[in-house]
A and B are shown apart, each in its own frame.
Chain A
């Protein structure tokens, strides 16, 4: 497709369950970002990849969160032992370049995770 694709669009998980969220960036985009958007809030940075290298994971809220991009294209955000506070929309974005002042990021529609 032409845009960033995320799957699933909606996920309901029981507390304690592990989940995996997938992001297919725009083909050829070097940079990939994950954000967490809680209800009524702006997106908050989680982690950043440049190709397959995870250059910044400072926004991951706990060691239950893990992200990978093994071949420099598709990325997976994994959350282990989900908690209710993990309920949010998880957004993925990609950009063509490796950063810089005018780098435009293209966003997917997000995955809405609800932990019950």
Chain B
């Protein structure tokens, strides 16, 4: 069965330093993978998606993620954190039909 595992429930970085949010996936075939961000009292917003084209995917707000089949990973990165990046981030996979499976989420804290 397909699943995603977010390896950290909380990540804390200082403003201006790199961000790394880790996600491993489990799938019997090439998966579709997404990263969503959830700000307090706001709806989930798509950051980026991987659908078997380029392995390095660029998203909004300077975020990017790299699909690594050998490591079954799809980690989210950003070179320099901004205070406005503080939010909950979800790694998500699609079963290829319509059922979307969310990871448990990683809360990102950004210190001034």
Residue contact B43 to A102, C-beta cutoff 8 Å: no
Shortest Cβ gap from A88 to chain B (Å)? 13
Check if A101 sits within 8 Å of B96, measured CB to CB: yes
- Number of A-B pairs whose CB atoms are under 8 Å? 64
Interface of B is mostly: loop
Inside 8 A of B12's CB, which chain A residues have their CB?
none
- Chain A: interface residue total (CB-CB under 8 A): 30
Interface range on chain B (Cβ under 8 Å from partner): 20 to 34
A107 and B44: CB pair below 8 A? yes
Ranked 7 nearest A-B pairs via Cβ:
A42-B102, A99-B98, A107-B44, A102-B51, A107-B43, A101-B32, A109-B43
Chain B contacts to A: CB under 8 angstroms:
32, 34, 36, 41-46, 49, 51-52, 90, 94, 96-105
Known: A45-B101, A48-B99, A105-B100. 15 other contacts (CB 8 A): A41-B105, A43-B90, A45-B100, A48-B98, A55-B98, A56-B98, A56-B99, A99-B94, A100-B97, A101-B32, A103-B94, A103-B98, A104-B34, A104-B46, A106-B43
